[in-house]
Amino acid sequence: MVPQVITSQELAHVKSTVDELKARLEAENNVELKFRFGTMIETVRACMRARQLAADVEFFSFGTNDLTQAVFSFSREDAENKFLPMYNESGILQDNPFEVLDIQGVGQLIEMTVQSGRAVREDLKIGICGEQGGHPETIRFCHHVGLNYVSCSAPRVPVARLAAAAAKLRARDFVGVIRPAA
């Protein structure tokens, strides 16, 4: 998984290096190395260039912590330690966007990226990793937009499993993307 990719040329360069190294290691050690090549989608530009990136990969994994920082244009450390608690208490933001996926902003980029990537590669595996991956609303959204997996911290796994089951059971009740009031 190649992190922080911003251009298809960058990804192609890394893929070429990985393919060369893989071939050399397989020849030298008489083994077959099996792995998938993909990219972490962590920048707004990567979202905007999903069609081009999808041509060279087998999966996308949204790095929601970095993508959230990019979308909001503030660092997690600055926000959580300074003004974010006041924003939540005052109702400026309903949730901490580093704990619950911001469906209105980050979610829109994810949905667009999924559609663009799968337009080029139907079998593209797509998931998210980050703290938001264990939150029930995030899981419901991810299920709805067609992600293949969510990754979350170990303490969140039981809740994530229940939320995934509930999302699957309720899927037939949803029309359009789940969007809470602004």
Q: Which ranges of the chain have pLDDT less than 50?
A: 174-182
Cβ burial, residue 15 (10 Å; 0-12/13-18/19+): middle
With a threshold of 0.95, does the pTM exceed it? no
* 164 touches 136 (CB < 8 A): no
Quote the tokens at residue 171.
Answer: 């899927």
Give the pLDDT score at 175: 45
Give the pLDDT score at 173: 55
Q: Which CATH architecture has domain 8-172?
A: Alpha-Beta Barrel (3.20)
Beta-strand ranges (E) seen in 23-166 are 38-41, 59-63, 125-129, 149-151
Give the pLDDT score at 114: 98
> Number of C-alpha atoms within 13 angstroms, CB side, residue 152?
24
